[in-house]
Every structure is written in C-alpha cells, then in structure tokens.
Structure 1
C-alpha cells in the first residue's frame, strides 16, 4: 500500500512538471513593459518601455474622419528609441504640464535621455547622458 502511494505521488509530480515549468516561464516573462502617460495635460499619449532593452514606443487616441469611434495611433521606435543594451530601464515624467515627452532612465548606470514623438511619425530619444 505504501509503495503504491509513493508511485502515485511520483507519477502526479512527473505529469505536472511540464505545466509547472511552463507556468514559471510565463511568470518570469510577465511584467516586461512599463507604461507612462505624457505629462502634457491636453495630450492623450502613453509611452511604452521595454524595461530590459530600453526600447520606447508610444500610442494615442485619434479621430478618424467619417467614424464615431476613432483609432489608436501608434508611433514605432525611431532614432535613439530602439532596443539597446540589456539593463534595467524605467520611465519618468516631469511635472511640466506642457511637456509631451518622458525621461528614459537606466537604473543601473544612472544615464538618462528624453523621448518624444517627432513629426507625428516615430518616437526618438536624445543620446543618454549623466
């Protein structure tokens, strides 16, 4: 009786192992992005940051002629905003209510750059500085 319980427990653990491993993989992949609204009070733009690579994009609501719902306008990463060296990045908004950009900070090195949408086409970031 004891031996069969041991084998049943071992069998259950072996059968559930792939699911547990998958769950751990999914959990470790969660939380890769950070989102922050631009501080400009009359702008409905939200910036998206890949916290590991520093890549920055942005989206906002826009009106589409002839529709009542509107569209989501997204701006891809452009110069200085594309994926860079792996680190630990974050977004910080200034308290300036007229500022349409955000700061991208490297929490490991202390380097900062300012990211904003340029010519309604892409997100660009200044060269990092301390």
Structure 2
C-alpha cells in the first residue's frame, strides 16, 4: 500500500473530526450593557441560555480583580435548548441585557441582583 493510499482516508475524515471543535469555539456569546458608567460584561451559553456576568473591581495593593456573578433565578439553563444571544438596549442608563432565543423568538431581561445574575421569565 502506498503512502498516498494510506493517508487519503485520514485526510478526508479531518473535516468531520474538526467539526466538534468548531462548534465548541462559539459556545458563549459576550456583550456589554448600554450603561456608560458600568464596566460589566454579560455572557450567555449559546445552547443552554445559562447567563453569567463579570466586572472589574479595584483591589488595594494589586492590579485589581474580576468579580464574576453566577446564574441566579431565571438565569440558569433554560428548559428548551436554543440559539441564545445577547442584545443591549439603546438606553444609556440600562445596566441589564436582553437574552434572546433566535430559534423561538423568546426574550428575557437579565441583570445583576444581590451578587447573582437574574432573568425575567421568557416572553414573545
């Protein structure tokens, strides 16, 4: 068997083998809210809709820390998997963010409350 015949099936299967890596590369989407005096960044798991947020905080004697907030009420994985994304409003004082499901059209508003990210029930 020649080297070419041996390698051809392996090379032909590479796109199939790399497909899970490409899908994994965009597992999260990130978006800052519209509020201009807030250094917060929200994240959503594209498939499950689970939310989180992080922001920078000063820490005496260091370069600072990233404070991250985990999912609270309504911000955990959603019952229906989807293609979730984040959208900021145009309201400059809005510290929350919209979580949208591109497959179903469902929308909820998420924000930080008591050191957790919380979201309103989804609506259309």
TM over 0.5: yes
Correspondence 1:78 to 2:76: no
Match of 2:59 in 1: 64
Match of 2:100 in 1: 105
Match of 1:94 in 2: 89
Gaps of 5+ in 2: none
**Which segment drifts farther, 108-117 or 20-29?**
20-29
Aligned pair partner of 1:29 in 15, 24, 27: 24
User: In the aligned structure 2, how far is the partner of 1:66 from the partner of 1:36?
Assistant: 29
What stretches of structure 1 move > 3 A for 4+ residues in a row? 14-22
Deviations 1:68-113 (A, max 9, x none): x100110011110101121111111101111100011111221111
RMSD after superposition: 1.8
Correspondence 1:50 to 2:45: yes
User: In the aligned structure 1, how far is the partner of 2:36 from the partner of 2:49?
Assistant: 25
TM-score, reference length from structure 1: 0.85
Gaps of 5+ in 1: none
Displacement of 1:23 in angstroms is: 2.2
The DSSP-based 3-state class of the residue aligned with 2:4 is helix
